[in-house]
Amino acid sequence: MSIKNLDELKKFTDEIRSQNGYKDPLAFAIARVQKGSQNKTINVHYSVVNYKENYGSAAVLAWAIEKNGIKIDFSGSEFVAPLTSAAISDALEIFDFLVPKSEGDKHKNIQNLLVIDEILNEQSDEQSEFAVTFLYADEAPKSVESVYLKLYLLSLGKVEIRGINLNGAFGVLPNLAWDSHGKAYELDYLRENEIWLKMKGWYPAIVSVDKFPRYLSHIIPADNTRILDSAKVRMGAVLAAGTTVMPGAAYVNFNSGTTGAVMIEGRVSSSVSVGEGSDVGGGASILGVLSGTNGNAISVGKKCLLGANSVTGVPLGDDCIVDAGIAILEGTKVFISEKNRAELSKINPEFKFDREIYKGLELANLNGLHYRQNSQNGQITASISKRAIKLNADLH
């Protein structure tokens, strides 16, 4: 089939998209998949990820896959189809007039197909390691490929923290050994081949055993983002440009991260969002939805400071401080003096400060709070924050 220009391509793809039962994907991407025992996918790499975009490319891929004998089920929430050299050739025939223009930031899906076509021709292997993953609805993932695609959507910043359904992801992903190159090994494979691998000097340099790979094994961060230890950020984390993740006690889990330049020297648990200009001090811990917040996801606002070894278990507004070494949990009793109640009401006019003692959860999302502990009697107090939190520009 000869397509000569964009108008003809649009007509072709519109015909596909108008067919009865066809559905545009929410997201799609071409995957290089690593198979384990029983030919099951254990590891996935995506180089070009599409989210609510490039519906014409998705239509061409779907057409090429079905042309080569695989019927796509558009009624489910996801579909994973092997991508053969024949299907790639058919897709590239449609895109042929765009191939000369496919470079740099232009037509990356076509660039992806061209590279895979070259690889498969070199290997002369019709049973390729490549597949296309289509997400048609944001439901709980059912395949390793769809889990990885959702992790990519997060880490590439195409969806917000807590912005996509990852329910049940732990049950879908296998527990694997990961080497220093980001390659995955099934634990049974290492056990069964331990003698051979070790005696040949081929035993891999295992750096972790986990269901999730490391962020840096899949994602290229922004130029001004620093991650000083690859073990400290899990795939599926969201790191806004300018974020610095220090070694030691720092850690950023999947489906959590930053919305601007942030200094992280403590733990950012899953589902936690940290706002621009905030500083998570050494050993500070922000609780996740499974660690004491009764399922309430925590957000830390802009220009907040979490002191060293502090624990934050309630959402914070902007310009808040939690002093070093104290824990602010949902049930923590917090004293606020009359003077501070008057000052805080000016910057939180929608909140009614009508008594001395509040539970931590009652103060959730309020701005300008400085949590302290009275060194004489141990009482946790909140006052208006008078310190301006400012990150070192040279570090971000």
Active site residue 265: yes
Those residues whose C-beta lies under 8 Å from the C-beta of residue 387, and which sit 6 or more positions away, are: 305, 321, 370
180 three-class SS: coil
Q: How far apart are CA 51 and CA 54, in angstroms?
A: 8
- Which amino acid appears at position 332 of this protein? T
47 three-class SS: strand
Please give the structure tokens belonging to residue 323.
């002093």
By DSSP bridging, strand 251-252 and strand 267-268 are: parallel
Q: How far apart are CA 164 and CA 394, in angstroms?
A: 34
State the DSSP code for 207: E
Distances, alpha carbon 87 to alpha carbons 46, 106, 142, in Å? 18, 22, 24
Counting Cβ atoms within 10 Å, is residue 220 exposed (0-12), middle (13-18) or buried (19+)?
exposed
Q: Name the β-bridge partners of 333.
A: 359
Q: How far apart are CA 214 and CA 290, in angstroms?
A: 21
**Residue from 78, 129, 145, 265 carrying the catalytic annotation:** 265
Q: Name the β-bridge partners of 327.
A: 311
Q: How far apart are CA 258 and CA 225, in angstroms?
A: 11
Q: How many residues does the chain have?
A: 396
Catalytic residues: 265
